[in-house]
Chain A
Amino acid sequence: MNQSDPITIAVIQYPGTNCEYETASAVEAAGMSAEIFRWNRHPEELIRFDGYVLAGGFSYQDRVRAGAIAAKKQIIGTLIREAAIGKPVLGICNGAQILIESGLVPGNHPGHVEMSLASNAAAGWRGYFCDWVYLRCQEKGASGAFNLDFTPGEIIPMPVAHAEGRFVSSDPALLDRITQSDQIAFRYCDAEGRYQPSFPINPNGSFLNAAGIYNPEGNVLAFMPHPERAAWMRQIPLDLDGSLRTATLEHCRMPGPGLRFFTSMKRFISNRRTGR
Chain B
Amino acid sequence: MTSNITIITEMKTRDAIASSAFHCLVHDLAYNNRIVKLERRECWRIELDLPDLAARMELGRRLAEETKLFVNPNKHLYTVRTSPPESIIRTGASESSIVHVIVTEREDSAGKGALNQLRSLYRIDRHIDSISFGFLYTLIFAPGVADPMGLAAEIAQLTDRAHGLLCNPHSQMFEVF
Stretch in contact with the other chain, from A42-50, A58-66, A129-137, A193-201: A58-66
User: Chain B interface: which of A68-76, A141-149, A219-227, A265-273?
Assistant: A68-76
Q: Considering the chains assembled together, what is the distance between the CA atoms of A74 and B21 in angstroms?
A: 16
The answer on a CB contact under 8 Å between B169 and A170 is yes
> In the complex the two chains form, what is the Cα distance from A115 to B29 in whole Å?
20
In the complex, what residues of B have CB within 8 A of residue A71's CB? Answer: 161
Interface residue? B55 (CB, 8 A): no
Residue B109 at the A interface, CB < 8 A? Answer: yes
Q: Which residue of B lies closest to A171 (CB)?
A: B170
Which of A68, A112, A115, A120 is B159 in contact with, Cβ under 8 Å?
A112
Q: Assess the A119–B105 pair: CB atoms within 8 A.
A: yes
A171–B159 CA distance with the chains assembled, in angstroms: 13
- In-complex Cβ contact of A64 among B20, B109, B170 (8 A): B20
| B166 / chain A contacts, CB cutoff of 8 Å | 64
> In the complex the two chains form, what is the Cα distance from A114 to B160 in whole Å?
9
CB-based contact B159/A113 at 8 Å: yes
Residues of B whose CB lies within 8 Å of any CB of A are: 16-17, 20-21, 24, 28-29, 105-107, 109, 112-113, 158-161, 164-166, 168-172
| Contact yes or no, A103 B20, CB < 8 A | no
- Contact present for B168 and A101 (CB under 8 Å): yes
- Interface size class on chain A is 35 or more
Is B165 in contact with A64, judged by CB distance below 8 angstroms?
yes
Cα separation A68 to B159 with both chains bound (whole Å)? 12
Contacts of A119 in B (CB 8 A): 105, 107, 109, 171
Tell me the complex Cα distance, A118–B173, Å: 12
Known: A63-B20, A111-B161. A73 touches B28 (CB 8 A): yes
Contact present for B168 and A103 (CB under 8 Å): no
Q: Could you tell me the distance between the alpha carbons of A169 and B21 in the complex, rounded to whole angstroms?
A: 23
* B28, B29, B171 — most chain A CB neighbours (10 Å): B171
A123 CB, nearest partner CB in chain B, Å = 12
Partner of B29, one of A72, A116, A168: A72
A120 to B112, CA, bound (A): 13
A166 vs B168: C-alpha distance in the bound complex, in angstroms? 13
Residue of A nearest to B40 (CB): A64
A183 at the interface (CB under 8 A from B): no
A-B residue pairs in contact (CB < 8 Å), sample of 30: A61-B20, A63-B16, A63-B21, A64-B17, A64-B20, A64-B21, A65-B172, A68-B165, A69-B20, A69-B24, A69-B28, A69-B165, A72-B28, A72-B161, A72-B165, A103-B160, A111-B161, A113-B158, A113-B160, A113-B161, A113-B168, A116-B168, A118-B105, A118-B106, A118-B170, A119-B109, A126-B113, A127-B113, A166-B171, A171-B170
